[in-house]
Amino acid sequence: MKVFEDLKKKLNRKPEIKDKKTDSAKQNNSSKKNINDIPKEIMNKLPPGVKIKRIVIGPKQIIKTIISIVIFFWLLSLLGGFLTPQNLSSVPISTLIESVKKGEVEKIVVSDDNVVANLKDGKIMVASKETSISMTEILQKENVDWNTLGLQIENRQGWKMMGEILSVVLSIGIPLLLILWLFSKQSGGAGGGGVFGFGKSTAKLFIKGKQNLSFKDVAGVEEAKNDLVEIVDFLKHPEKYQKMGARAPRGVLLVGPAGVGKTLLAKAVAGEANVPFYSMAGSEFMEMLVGVGASRVRDLFGTAKKAGKAIIFIDEIDAIGRARGGMDGGHGEREQTLNQILVEMDGFEKNTAVVVLAATNRGDLLDPALLRPGRFDRRVVLELPDLEARKEILKIHAKGKPFNEDVNWENVAKGTVGFSGADLENMLNEAAIGAARENNTKITNKDLDNASLKVQLGAEKRRTQTDEDKSLTAYHEAGHAIVNYVEKLDPVSKISIISRGSALGFTLIPPQKDVVHQTKSNLIKRMAMAMGGRAAEDLIFGDITTGASSDISHTTNIARDMVVEWGMSSLGPINFGPQIDMNDWGKAYMEPARISDKMQGLVDKEIKKFVTEAFEEAKKVLEKNKDKLEKVAKALMEKESLDQEEFEELVK
């Protein structure tokens, strides 16, 4: 019965009817969309009545063409098999001669080395002869009078030569075309003009309306925004600045660590400006042929100058703007490209409003000639966001995500000290992913905490550990927390013996506020807190483990900076670092002078003194608070993680 019911449903199903008008409308819309992609300058120059047809040649089209050719020749071979006469047989030349002697052959046709004999009974024989001997000579040797036969000689040397030429063209031409196509894709494809457009710029043109970002979408970098707002306003209203005798800055250099919003600011400029905005990465100028980068620079600046008002954005300019010469002997292609940029930025006419934006996180590597006024007039330094900036950034990236009502953005911002704008966006995204994975309808504080830990330390790992390993990790992390509590540093946010990233456990102590200056006493306390884990191992187990390696490294780095950079040791306020002559970007102009071996020994002695005292202080604190250490460690072994409230309840 089920079979009949299924059959009945199929018979009663209405046939799908495609609306030809709808299909044609879709095709017209797609064709219009393709035409709209063509710049208006090109469209305006076309004569009236000219129709534009887009031809796409890519890997898919090439594969389809090859498959079509293979199918065509396969069908052709099948057709040849059907058209071949059934009475045709291929025989040796001796068999054909025997048939001639017997008088069975009516006609012989010789074409090059092929001999075709038509027999009187309607059959056809085909044989091959040697190239060095003619058919008449063969018949004479066999004492056959060829005059009595209908012997016909066909000359196909011309066709044979054309076939050989065609085979050579196909065997060489097709691979050559394929190589040229691959070479053009490698050298920039359509964006760079293909194999014949090495010197063409591959800059992306951002069009007003297609770029949705604006200055409202950028937070935490107000000073940089103000500088760029002036640039955009100058390009929109140049006359009010010209009345005051001002000129547009030739270039603005954005310098800062990764993730602080340099590229985001440039995209916001593209959204705000009503002028052409050309974007290009520094590495896109480089090519394997020397001189290509310089040619692309000329093409990029030439295109921008033709527009009258334009903005050029070069991301990661350190790829081509590094100081020339140096210990590595320089790089010919990069130096030629840099030289061309210097020439182009000097060659701006007074009435040309072309501004160059550039971004880098290594301002110290750039060539001094690139940084002088008249080229990059403004240098905007972006830093990691402070508390208020983090709150503004979180508000922007929280749009479009459903958060629970009890989420306290003030606490989230306080717990993300040291996060860049990109880190904050990544944290919110990880929180959204975690909430979706748990099938929650809203993002909670727990999701945000887990996401913050994942961004800082890595994903959670449930490693198989013995009770001894858990005990070691628990006392180690409890040692950090107890010393931190007694020394009255920033409150402990979370302690855990669950592995994350490369750490077997962690003690999270986020700063309560953004710190600008560090005192000597505070640094000594922080070193003691860092050595609390090693001190706890020594105190409880009478032995030490390799788990304190990162703590020792962190403590040693603080001690070294106190002695070498900050003058906080008994050696006095002297900088024992490399003595170099530097410019304002920290670039050395001479070989650094080393301190004497005797002084280096004293420096090492002071560093060891600071680290040893930190360890002894931590051990002393833990000996006095051993009962609290035991409580926290046992609670960690039971629960694996403790938050701030649970920890403070245990150590009261």
Domain match, 444 and 355 both: no
In a domain, 25, yes or no: no
Q: How many Cβ atoms are within 10 Å of 264's Cβ, its own excluded?
A: 19
Burial 143-170 (b: 16+ CB within 10 A, else e): ebebeebeeeeeeeeeeeeeeeeeeeee
Domain match, 294 and 283 both: yes
How far apart are the C-alpha atoms of 32 and 52, rounded to whole Å? 10
Domain match, 79 and 91 both: no
Phi and psi for 126 in degrees, rounded to 5? Answer: -125, 130
How far apart are the C-alpha atoms of 232 and 253, rounded to whole Å? 15
Name the domain boundary from 147, 175, 195: 195
**Structural domain span for residue 79:** 57-84
Of the candidates 146, 168, 164, 147, the one whose C-alpha atom is nearest the C-alpha of residue 156 is: 164
Write the CATH number for 305. 3.40.50.300
Pairing of strands 641-643, 494-496: antiparallel
In a domain, 32, yes or no: no
In a domain, 15, yes or no: no
Take residue 464 and report the two structure tokens written for it.
């198989």
Residues forming a β-bridge with 109: 116, 152
How far apart are the C-alpha atoms of 379 and 357, rounded to whole Å? 10
Low-confidence ranges of the chain (pLDDT < 50): 1-34, 186-199, 201, 208-209, 327-330, 581-585, 589-590
Sign of the C-alpha dihedral, residues 126, 129, 133, 137? negative
Domain count across the chain? 6
Of the candidates 348, 184, 211, 202, the one whose C-alpha atom is nearest the C-alpha of residue 282 is: 202
Q: How many Cβ atoms are within 10 Å of 544's Cβ, its own excluded?
A: 12
Pairing of strands 277-281, 204-206: antiparallel
Domain match, 304 and 453 both: no
Domain match, 549 and 448 both: no
Domain match, 412 and 534 both: no
How far apart are the C-alpha atoms of 406 and 442, rounded to whole Å? 11
Of the candidates 307, 308, 293, the one whose C-alpha atom is nearest the C-alpha of residue 341 is: 293
Domain match, 177 and 274 both: no
Domain match, 630 and 495 both: yes
How far apart are the C-alpha atoms of 203 and 383, rounded to whole Å? 28
Name the domain boundary from 123, 155, 187: 155
In residues, how long is the chain?
652
Q: What pLDDT is recorded for position 484?
A: 92
Take residue 437 and report the two structure tokens written for it.
């994975």
Sign of the C-alpha dihedral, residues 266, 271, 273, 279? positive
Domain match, 559 and 621 both: yes
How far apart are the C-alpha atoms of 346 and 344, rounded to whole Å? 5
Write the CATH number for 135. 3.30.720.210
Active site residues: 477
Of the candidates 488, 540, 528, 481, the one whose C-alpha atom is nearest the C-alpha of residue 505 is: 481
Helices (runs of H) and strands (runs of E) counted in the chain: 24, 16
In a domain, 52, yes or no: no
Helices (H), 46-201: 59-83, 93-101, 135-141, 157-186
In a domain, 16, yes or no: no
Write the CATH number for 433. 1.10.8.60
How far apart are the C-alpha atoms of 543 and 2, rounded to whole Å? 76
In a domain, 267, yes or no: yes
Torsion of CA 429, 433, 439, 440, to 10 degrees: -20
Q: What pLDDT is recorded for position 615?
A: 94
Domain match, 321 and 415 both: no
Of the candidates 213, 211, 207, 214, the one whose C-alpha atom is nearest the C-alpha of residue 276 is: 207
Distance (Å) of CA 141 to CA 131, 132, 423, 548: 16, 15, 96, 103
Domain match, 222 and 260 both: yes
In a domain, 21, yes or no: no
- In whole angstroms, what separates CA 201 from the centre of its chain? 20
Of the candidates 222, 211, 254, 248, the one whose C-alpha atom is nearest the C-alpha of residue 233 is: 248
pTM of the model: 0.62
Of the candidates 594, 263, 185, the one whose C-alpha atom is nearest the C-alpha of residue 421 is: 263
Domain match, 120 and 191 both: no
Name the domain boundary from 141, 173, 195: 195
Instruction: Please tell me whether residue 103 adopts helix, strand or coil conformation.
Output: coil
In a domain, 42, yes or no: no
Burial of 99 (0-12, 13-18, 19+ CB in 10 A): middle
